Structure 1
């Protein structure tokens, strides 16, 4: 039976945990883009009208739905660097899973529904990011973008949530 406690867990999961997991994923992409000399780096959390922006971060009205990042150019631009950018989001999600589990194990944080949801959504994000598939809007998952990159078929160096902005 779905009760009040379950409703509050739902609110926590979708309006707090999932946006945090999304931000971690996008920061992973941008971290590697920055390491390889990325210019024009920008992270967008959510969709809809702009709520506020800070330097390279934009937060949209529906902050809990979707996210993306972009860069204009890279100083070090080859298949390996682009692959690490595509994998960066999943790398950050996996590292965050291990970090949370480690902190629980050494009693720094207490095991709770919050951390269970965090790990669950992080696995979810990694699975669907690396699954080589075309999204409904025609964009590519990170896994498919990397696959096409190595097959010389990813013309715009983009995935569904990380793209090189072309003018």
Structure 2
């Protein structure tokens, strides 16, 4: 049951944990695109730009969504695009397994923060890999993977 004592964790979840999960997801796309020689631009949030740090743009509503664009891949093959689209979810799952290993090894404490981090990461992975298009017509990672394999087309931005 949700009570007043849950409100602080609610704010931590939506204004700290979810943006970190989003940033890690987009970092996976960025890392993989760079491995294939691509030029990258990525963003956390929506709305007015607050801050630019290299290729990263942080928007006013930093706790909502993220995206990554890449172009000019040195290795412009179907499998490279599939790897880039899948890398966000792969990065999320690697971080979840790493956190769980550190908790199991008693390096990190068992804590609600890490539980919620894992929950949001799994949520992110699930919806990223589900093939669909959002209301703006942008594909999920799963849809982009499907289209690259089926039609040989890569579409930007990736979410």
TM-score (norm 1): 0.90
**What secondary structure is seen at the aligned counterpart in 1 of 2:151?**
coil
Alignment map for 1:36-75 (pairs within 5 Å) = 36-39=36-39, 41-75=40-74
CA displacement 1:86-129 (0-9 Å, x = unmatched): 00000000101101100100011111110011000000010001
Segments of 4+ in structure 1 off by > 6 A?
Answer: none
Counterpart of 2:92? 93
Residues 121-158 of structure 1: CA deviation (Å, up to 9, x unaligned): 0000100011112222211111111111111163x523
Aligned partners of 1:153, 1:128: CA distance in 2, in Å?
Answer: 22
In the other structure, the counterpart of 1:125 is 124
* Alignment partners' CA distance in 2, 1:149 and 1:97: 27
Match 1:157 to one of 148, 155, 158: 155
Map of 2:21 onto structure 1:
21
Inter-partner Cα distance in structure 2 for 1:52 and 1:149: 32
Contact persistence 2:41–2:70 (CA under 8 A): yes
> What is the aligned residue count?
159
Structure 2, gaps ≥5 residues long: none
- 1: CA distance between counterparts of 2:135 and 2:86? 21
Q: Report the aligned-residue RMSD.
A: 1.3
Q: Which runs of 5+ in 1 are unaligned?
A: 162-167
